[in-house]
Amino acid sequence: MNNLTKMKINRPASEVFEAFVDPAKIGSFWFSSSSERWEAGKMVTLRYDEYYAEVVVKITDIETNRKIVFEDEEGNTTTITLKEENPSTTIIVVNEDGFDEKDVEGLIDNKEGWVYMLTCLKAYIECGISTLRAALVK
């Protein structure tokens, strides 16, 4: 089963794309750090310093300014698709696939993470705000 989340971001697709692949930017809206620039075939280590956690993902496909696909250690595949409606507006679509449909709690928790990250991303690239991340309380 999959989790699908879509959001409108009032910036060009190239800026949304760079926010993910450029390791200097991810710490403003999602993980605290990314080990290197995202490119197809690379293994990238993503750290959450606040939660003493890290995850390694494999970047399986990249289309510049259009698509990013990666697999995590649990075998789930996430596809980030960017649809530029006009030069100043992009619809970002995040689809994570691979869930057991009986894992309702896992699906809800996963949805929480994607919506939170996307809203922090929107605040970061539209408004330059990088202080919203890492505030969900478990």
Write out the residues near a second copy by the rule CB under 8 A. 3, 5-9, 91, 93, 101, 104, 107-108, 111-112, 115-116, 119-120, 122-123, 126-127, 129, 131-132, 135-138
Neighbours of 102 (CB within 10 A): 9
Q: Which is nearer to a second copy, 48 or 116 (by Cβ)?
A: 116
| Rounded least distance, CB 10 to a second copy, Å | 8
| Rounded least distance, CB 83 to a second copy, Å | 10
**Minimal CA–CA distance to 122: which of 137, 134, 132, 135?**
132
Three-class DSSP category at 95: strand
| Rounded least distance, CB 6 to a second copy, Å | 4
Query: 107: Cβ–Cβ under 8 A, 6 or more apart, which residues?
Result: 1, 3, 99, 101
Which backbone phi and psi does 116 adopt, to 5 degrees? -65, -50
| Rounded least distance, CB 17 to a second copy, Å | 18
Question: What single-letter amino acid sits at 42?
Answer: K
Q: Which is nearer to a second copy, 69 or 107 (by Cβ)?
A: 107
Q: Which is nearer to a second copy, 59 or 121 (by Cβ)?
A: 121
Q: Which is nearer to a second copy, 86 or 135 (by Cβ)?
A: 135
**Cα separation, 105 vs 128, whole angstroms:** 33
